[in-house]
Amino acid sequence: MSKVAVVTGGTRGIGEAISLALKDLGYTIAANYAGNEEKARAFTDRTGIAAFKWDVGDHQACLDGCAQVAEKLGPVDIVVNNAGITRDGVLARMSFEDWNDVMRINLGGCFNMAKATFGGMRERGWGRIVNIGSVNGQAGQYGQVNYAAAKSGIHGFTKALAQEGAKYGITVNAIAPGYIDTDMVAAVPAPVLEKIVAKIPVGRLGHAHEIARGVAFLCSEDAAFITGSTLSINGGQHMY
């Protein structure tokens, strides 16, 4: 029986690329999504990958959603915490709701999904959790105190949970993408985006499949000795 992977935010952008990359490894994929049912149906029709709707920022919804996946596809062996939102603005203009929504979904979603699946992985003696951070969680970014804090929190969450999972055959790692040619980046004003690309040593935006390959590796048996690590895929934009 193939291993079951849940990819949050798995029907669009980087998430879709991850879902497809893991499917190519022979895993059974459940692609989570939060909103657009029409696009989710189109994704399933296009890829043959089942889509499941729930809000990763809702703790009970994650418990119920992962239980539904387990009932339909089998116990969850792999979780990729990819779902995320932005609510950008300088602190002076950022509302509490802007802060709280980003923390609830981007960071809280990692906790919620781990609570829903970590126990089962521990009982079976095998698991993979890959959390999608960000270069902006490593280096910070003007106008993103909420997003940068949440993504930075993901890196700490990863290191702590990795220590809990190691003796049970569970690896927990993170990937910190740089600027990738997704809809989220496309929303950045052109003059701003030009300045961003100018700071990337390789001279271009990344591609979703480049992040997906990193995730696929960390989910494979080849990566069994890697845990608590953050793989930076950012074209050299931030090195440390």
Q: Of 54 and 139, which is predicted with more confidence?
A: 54
Measured CA to CA in angstroms, residue 31 lies from 14, 51, 144 at distances of: 12, 5, 27
- Start-to-end CA distance of the chain, whole Å, equals 40
**pLDDT band at 139; cut points 50, 70, 90:** confident
Domain boundaries, the chain: 4-233
Give the pLDDT confidence of 28-38 residue by residue, as tens digits.
Answer: 999 999 988 99
Helix (H) or strand (E) holding 16: helix 13-24
Give the contacts of 170 (CB within 8 A, at least 6 positions apart).
118, 121, 122, 126, 127, 128, 129, 227
Looking at the chain, the number of H-run helices and the number of E-run strands are: 10, 7
Residue 183 pLDDT level (bands cut at 50, 70, 90): confident
**Confidence (pLDDT) at 133:** 95
Q: Are 27 and 3 in contact (CB under 8 A)?
A: yes
State whether residue 8 is helix, strand or coil.
coil
Per-residue model confidence as pLDDT tens digits over 210-233: 999 999 999 999 999 999 999 999
What's the rounded Cα separation, in Å, for the pair 124 and 140?
A: 38
Quick check: 186 pLDDT over 80? no
Indicate which residues carry an active-site annotation: 147
Superfamily of domain 4-233: NAD(P)-binding Rossmann-like Domain (3.40.50.720)
Distance between CA atoms of 64 and 156, rounded to whole angstroms?
A: 26
For the segment 79-108, what is each residue's pLDDT rounded down to a tens digit? Answer: 999 999 989 899 999 999 999 999 999 999
**Percent share of the chain, pLDDT over 90:** 85
